Structure 1
Amino acid sequence: MTKTLPPEVVRSLVLYLKDDKKFLHSCLFVSRDWCREAVYLLWKQSFHFLYTCNKTNLSVSSQSTNLDLELTNDCNCSKEKRQSQAANLLMTYFSIKYYDELIKEGIIDTKSRNTLFNYLKFLNVLSLHELYVAIKDWIHWDKFDNKIQLLNFLNSKFNLNSIDILDKYTPLIFSSIFRYFFAYSSELELLSFDTKFILHKINNNNPCSFLKYHKILMNEFNELNFPETKQCFVNLTELVLTTDERKNEIFSLLSRTCHNIQKMSVRVNFHFFSGCGFAIRRENDVALEEAKQLTSLIRSQHNLIYFELFGTYQVGMSEILKSLKETQHDSLKTLIFNSVTVDHISYFLFQLEDFQNLQDLRFIKCIYYEEMDGIDERRNNYGEDLWLPNLKFLQVDCLDDYQDDFDKLSFILLRCSPLINEID
């Protein structure tokens, strides 16, 4: 008789391959212990696995940057298969709370089986982009005839207006579904709105070719300020918001409802205009307001360990740095500036002075806004009070036009970091 592995060993093995969808599916048929561990992991990030393929040839365009990952791949998924899977996944979630009512309304038939578990309790990772694409796939699936009836049923649950047709992607098509997940997903730990595919570049080598960039209506998320959202966000420990769209409202909402974020990757975007001074001033004001809402979110956290800032122009940069220094200097260990504009180097170095526990500092494809003429004569005075005793990793990578300026910044940071001898 074959000996079975202890549950703790099974758990360790399954966790080691937690991002391998094919492996997790095979675990379902091994034994009860293997099945239990696999079920939890598959439903922990169900929409992520929906758009992860077992066999994908992935290539990254040579013109793409770490901000804009261009996915060109060939997977084995058919359009019908992906749409069917999206529909089945969403209907499974809806049945958890409304199974009897959906049967009574004739939206699902009596042959449909109720779910074995409350899979909403398993959902720890929610990508709003993946959820959005899943809804679109479900809408396009032509073998479910009660879409409008189901959407109006959900709209009635959240006091939203009814719809008559599905010919346009209006907020009413998506709002009730988003509200459903925000109201009942009380165990969320990671929330992302990641249209730049940052997370997929990190932990998904096999993204489905059906997961494409969609310009999402930000209003669908900005209008989610209702009482039930508080229980959804209270356990968040990781936040990824890399979309270009304005995020004022969602930053404001999160700052009031979640306070235990440890890892934050965000973007404050500045839209450039040429010619019109009024438009430039208005864009400055809008970007500054978004940065202020981000600083409120930063200040509301109790233990921020990792902070990565994407694509931010100088507008609002000083406020963001100030909020990190004043509220997160003891906890912050990783600080990454990705394609941001660095200006006023003396002020920037001044803000770093209190980060005594910082271990990882990176500048990736950054630019310098202000001329640094004369810094050679003054650089011994720059950061004279700066000392980063625990810094172990330093990366200074900039666009070619700014190499000399960042070489000088590198010199200053190396001088203040006793644990490192060179820059990666």
Structure 2
Amino acid sequence: MRNYIPPECLQLIFDNIENDRISLHSCLLVNRTWCYNTIGILWKQPFHLLYACNKNSSIKRNLQATNLLEVYISCLIQLYKSILVEKSIVSQFIKPPMFNYVQYLKFLDLYELYMAIYDYKDPKINGKVSRFPLTPKFNSVSRRRIPINQQQLDNSTHWVTSEDCMLVLNFFFRENLFDLGSSINNDEYRWLGMLMCKFFLEHSRSIDKLSIDAKSGFSIYTLANQNFILNRKYLNVDDCLIIPYCLDSSNCLSKLTKLVCTTRYRKANFLLSIANICHCIKTLIVRVDCDITYSWPLPLLPTSRNGEHESVAKLIKSQRGLVHLELQYCSSGLGNIMSALKTQVHSLRILHFTEIDLSYILNYLTPLTNLDTLKFQKCYSTRADFSLDLMINLSKLSALHFDEDPIPLKIVEIIIDACSFNLRSINLGRLLYTPDLDGSINMNTIGFVASRFHNLTFFKTNIDSKEQIPQVIELFKTCSYLETVILCQVENSDKSLSVYETNNMLETLGKNGLPTTLRCFALKGKQWTFTCVSLGIFLGHHDVSKRKSPVFELDLTGGSSCFTNFHLDAILNANRHRKVVKKVLLSSNMLLSSEMMAKAGELIKLVNPESDKVVCNH
């Protein structure tokens, strides 16, 4: 009896390697059963695999983008084969593709689509002419009809070639078979992008995830000679905002579960059309600050800036169970959007704000009692007269994260006070301490967290005062389930700890004993200075009589220059009796002797402090 794996099991296996393009391609070639179960996963997000999961050189990626688009063009040829054969553009003996690859498309990122078109059309990469035969520009092909040499083909079937794709695109572009707009018909990049997007939305079974995101934020425009120069590669993404309401895409988008729309182009009409079509969105990431300068030279839609937040509110209300909302840069109409969240109180679990005025959203958090994660990034407060008696209940919240931008302490205290013992992860960020009415400053936030949330597993904060050191020590005593602790110091700050204060903190933590659950301890920032003796006490004073002791990763990638060969020797000495440190992450700019690096072996991992990318392992 031969071994047999049911297709249902194969699907579960292949789902775990959906971002591994090489492994999926290998599974594709095993047998027919594996092929049928792999093809849908491999082609549900091909552009994502090409760019987000691809570390190949730009020249090789250029060839891969060409091959990918030509596969889709071959599917397009089959739809119009009768017309193309009649016009002698292609041979009637062209083979159809092995699969209808378009029907497997589930995730459409328009930025990645246009990047593929850019690579497909551009014959030069990094100033070097590619050695691969790329499709030239459409206009380089003669406008006369090119007959097929039947004798040369010997009336035999053959696959679609690069030349066939070039001739077909030239014919479509010249004859204007697709009404994509007069302004778009004069631009080959935009025309091909709109054609492919229209083709995907009309012939895909269903799109689960749709992303209209330029990825580069404000780098859509580059400043040169005091004038904004348009970068076409990014702005073309915005053309497809008119797609949902210029064709019948209700069948394709009706099961949309994730929508990312962070372009600065006017998108009120687009969001309204999505609200009428899609009612199953679980994840919504949207930016609400359209800019008229980002709309040139595209045709402006008859909507105003004030209508954008109304479209977002209607989109939220139209969903049956929104789970994750990320709201970015909403400068007007914030109350309208927050009021719409009342319709999602039973399903909403994750709420993420980016550059939002916190003082205007606190009142709207009252009905959101089922939140699990609350994040604030680059947020601020323009008011100081908000009430401290808000009836906010975040008892089910398990993760609360502030970023490194200063946040008024009063707002942080209001939100923390609304949390319960269910809180597992907290990032206090950089607290902005302000004097009370009597002139005193309360700096006991870390101590309050330590006394209330004993089940914490993740903790991160900025340390900018010696008064916070006893609170950190108390945190390690009371929170026995800590797994990750990240302590930061702001660069170029006059409130950084002295070497004596840091030594005192490390030695006390080591003598008191570290939590056995600790997996990562990080000191981020160039301001950290400590001696090798204190580091040795921090690592060496664990109870050897205990069966369990913490084995954790020591992260010193903030760029501190105090780490020397003596510090590394202290780590090696701590590991002699019992392994305490499993990995040390150091900045690549630290000067360590090659002898010590060789002695440490695989214990050391060098990381670029600017990008947090691994440079090499030793």
Q: Which residue of structure 2 lines up, in the alignment, with residue 47 of structure 1? A: 47
1:131 Cα deviation after fit: 2.1
> Are the aligned partners of 2:75 and 2:96 in contact in 1 as well (CA < 8 Å)?
no
Q: Which residue of structure 2 lines up, in the alignment, with residue 179 of structure 1? A: 198
Which amino acid in 2 is paired with 1:392?
S
Aligned equivalents of 2:48, 2:26: Cα separation in 1: 18
Q: Which residue of structure 1 lines up, in the alignment, with residue 73 of structure 2? A: 91
Equivalent residue in structure 2 for 1:392, among 371, 391, 398: 398
Distance 1:213 1:102, change over 3 A: same
Residue 378 (structure 2) pairs with residue 365 (structure 1)? yes
Distance 1:118 1:422, change over 3 A: closer
> SS of the residue aligned with 1:48?
helix
> SS of the residue aligned with 1:315?
coil
Which amino acid in 2 is paired with 1:330?
H
Aligned equivalents of 1:217, 1:163: Cα separation in 2: 12
Aligned equivalents of 1:270, 1:408: Cα separation in 2: 31
Which amino acid in 2 is paired with 1:365?
K
Q: What whole-Å deviation, never above 9, does each CA across 1:320-372 have from its counterpart, x for those lacking one? A: 111112x211111111112x2215x2x5222111112111111122222x132
> Are the aligned partners of 2:27 and 2:34 in contact in 1 as well (CA < 8 Å)?
yes
Moved more, 259-268 or 219-228: 219-228
Aligned equivalents of 1:330, 1:411: Cα separation in 2: 25
- Aligned counterparts, 1:63-74, within 5 A: none
Q: Which residue of structure 2 lines up, in the alignment, with residue 334 of structure 1? A: 350
> SS of the residue aligned with 1:23?
helix
Which amino acid in 1 is paired with 2:115?
V
Q: Which residue of structure 1 lines up, in the alignment, with residue 208 of structure 2? A: 189
> Are the aligned partners of 1:287 and 1:316 in contact in 2 as well (CA < 8 Å)?
no
Residue 237 (structure 2) pairs with residue 222 (structure 1)? no
Which amino acid in 2 is paired with 1:187?
S
Which amino acid in 2 is paired with 1:309?
L
Aligned equivalents of 1:288, 1:163: Cα separation in 2: 28
Distance 1:191 1:100, change over 3 A: same
Aligned equivalents of 2:33, 2:192: Cα separation in 1: 40
Q: Which residue of structure 1 lines up, in the alignment, with residue 364 of structure 2? A: 351
> Are the aligned partners of 2:207 and 2:252 in contact in 1 as well (CA < 8 Å)?
yes
Q: Which residue of structure 2 lines up, in the alignment, with residue 261 of structure 1? A: 281
1:197 Cα deviation after fit: 6.8
User: RMSD across aligned C-alpha pairs, in angstroms?
Assistant: 3.1
> Are the aligned partners of 1:235 and 1:258 in contact in 2 as well (CA < 8 Å)?
yes
- Aligned counterparts, 1:120-159, within 5 A: 120-140=102-122, 141-142=135-136, 144=163, 145-146=166-167, 147-152=169-174, 155-158=176-179
> Are the aligned partners of 1:255 and 1:296 in contact in 2 as well (CA < 8 Å)?
yes
Q: Which residue of structure 2 lines up, in the alignment, with residue 316 of structure 1? A: 333
Which amino acid in 2 is paired with 1:245?
Y
Equivalent residue in structure 1 for 2:311, among 290, 293, 298: 293
Which amino acid in 2 is paired with 1:371?
R
Distance 1:93 1:265, change over 3 A: farther
Distance 1:232 1:100, change over 3 A: same
Moved more, 92-101 or 385-394: 92-101
1:136 Cα deviation after fit: 3.6
Number of equivalences: 363
TM-score by length of 1: 0.76
Aligned equivalents of 1:316, 1:220: Cα separation in 2: 25
> SS of the residue aligned with 1:410?
helix
Aligned equivalents of 2:184, 2:320: Cα separation in 1: 42
Q: Which residue of structure 2 lines up, in the alignment, with residue 13 of structure 1? A: 13
Any stretches of 5+ residues in structure 1 without a counterpart?
57-74, 199-211, 274-284
Q: Which residue of structure 1 lines up, in the alignment, with residue 325 of structure 2? A: 307
1:231 Cα deviation after fit: 1.7
> Are the aligned partners of 1:44 and 1:122 in contact in 2 as well (CA < 8 Å)?
yes
Q: Which residue of structure 2 lines up, in the alignment, with residue 36 of structure 1? A: 36
TM-score by length of 2: 0.53
> Are the aligned partners of 1:414 and 1:421 in contact in 2 as well (CA < 8 Å)?
no
> SS of the residue aligned with 1:318?
helix
> Are the aligned partners of 2:287 and 2:330 in contact in 1 as well (CA < 8 Å)?
no
> Are the aligned partners of 2:110 and 2:237 in contact in 1 as well (CA < 8 Å)?
no
Distance 1:20 1:181, change over 3 A: same
Q: What whole-Å deviation, never above 9, does each CA across 1:56-98 have from its counterpart, x for those lacking one? A: 5xxxxxxxxxxxxxxxxxx264365145224313313313533
Any stretches of 5+ residues in structure 2 without a counterpart?
123-134, 137-161, 218-231, 294-302, 428-618
> SS of the residue aligned with 2:394?
coil
Aligned equivalents of 2:190, 2:8: Cα separation in 1: 46
1:224 Cα deviation after fit: 4.6
Aligned equivalents of 1:317, 1:189: Cα separation in 2: 28
Aligned equivalents of 2:109, 2:180: Cα separation in 1: 25
1:239 Cα deviation after fit: 0.5
Task: State which structure, 1 or 2, has the greater radius of gyration over its C-alpha atoms.
Answer: 2
1:137 Cα deviation after fit: 3.7
Aligned equivalents of 1:197, 1:34: Cα separation in 2: 38
1:116 Cα deviation after fit: 2.6
Q: Which has the higher contact order (CA 8 A, sep 6+)?
A: 1
> Are the aligned partners of 2:206 and 2:252 in contact in 1 as well (CA < 8 Å)?
yes
> SS of the residue aligned with 1:341?
coil
Aligned equivalents of 1:422, 1:300: Cα separation in 2: 32
1:270 Cα deviation after fit: 5.3
Which amino acid in 2 is paired with 1:294?
V
Q: Which residue of structure 2 lines up, in the alignment, with residue 68 of structure 1? A: none
Which amino acid in 1 is paired with 2:90?
I
Q: Which residue of structure 1 lines up, in the alignment, with residue 545 of structure 2? A: none
1:421 Cα deviation after fit: 6.8
> Are the aligned partners of 1:171 and 1:220 in contact in 2 as well (CA < 8 Å)?
no
> SS of the residue aligned with 1:18?
coil
> SS of the residue aligned with 2:416?
helix
Aligned equivalents of 1:86, 1:35: Cα separation in 2: 18
Distance 1:410 1:14, change over 3 A: same
Aligned equivalents of 1:232, 1:421: Cα separation in 2: 39
